[in-house]
Amino acid sequence: MPATTAYPHRGAVPTAAWLQLFRSARAEIDLLAYGCLFIVDEPEIRLALVERAEAGVTVRVALGDPSGHRLRERGDDGWVGPEIETRVRSALATFKTLGHGRGIEVRTHNTTHYNSIYRADSDIMVNMHVFGVPAASAPVLRLQADRDPEAASAYQASFERIWGAATRVTQPAE
């Protein structure tokens, strides 16, 4: 794979690429997004996350706080509107269920993040947010930390800052 692979929008990333990303993880998987609903909507990807967690891979999921003002702002900025809150609540409920007792930690954040980040060890996919465009219609970059150390480090540091300020979700979905 070249140092950086670019996709014109998230829908152009084949499901096989997402599966390869997550199945390749041996130590860590990090997800940072407002909702990540496309991941929980895909059974194979959900299963890959659960399997990796059950194999001892640390899986951390940071989703937007459905009651937070930053999520509402992103809904307005991405022309999705208040529907974003419903979508995030749905994703959050699914992730809580997936993680309960399986080693998937879920937190919520109330930050403005300019990219959604999907990382498996040193392989990172970055869904770049574009004003006025839903995340699904925005470009995605795939980076390898060993080939793009500065770029990968910047995205990992962003994830860590948000993760550190995020609130842990402890109750399984009802």
Strand blocks (E) in the chain: 4-7, 28-32, 58-64, 104-109, 115-120, 123-128, 140-144, 167-168
pLDDT surpasses 90 at 165: yes
Q: Is the dihedral angle over the CA atoms 174, 90, 96, 70 positive or is it negative?
A: negative
Per cent of the chain over pLDDT 90 is 55
Distance separating alpha carbons of residues 28 and 105, to the nearest angstrom? 12
Using alpha carbons, list the distances in angstroms from residue 8 to 56, 91, 114, 142, 172. 34, 24, 17, 12, 36
Can you give the pTM of this predicted structure? 0.88
Q: What is the model's pLDDT at position 1?
A: 47
Q: What is the model's pLDDT at position 74?
A: 54
For residue 157, the cross-strand partners are none
- Domains detected in the chain: 4-168 (3.30.870.10)
| 21-64 residue pLDDT tens | 999 999 999 999 988 888 988 999 999 999 999 999 999 999 98
**Token output for 161:** 């800052």
Per DSSP, the residues of 122-150 read TEEEEEE-BTTB-GGGS-EEEEETTTSHH
Helix (H, G, I), strand (E, B) or coil at 20: helix
pLDDT surpasses 80 at 166: yes
pLDDT surpasses 80 at 99: no
Residue matched to tokens 């390898």:
144
Q: What is the model's pLDDT at position 173?
A: 44
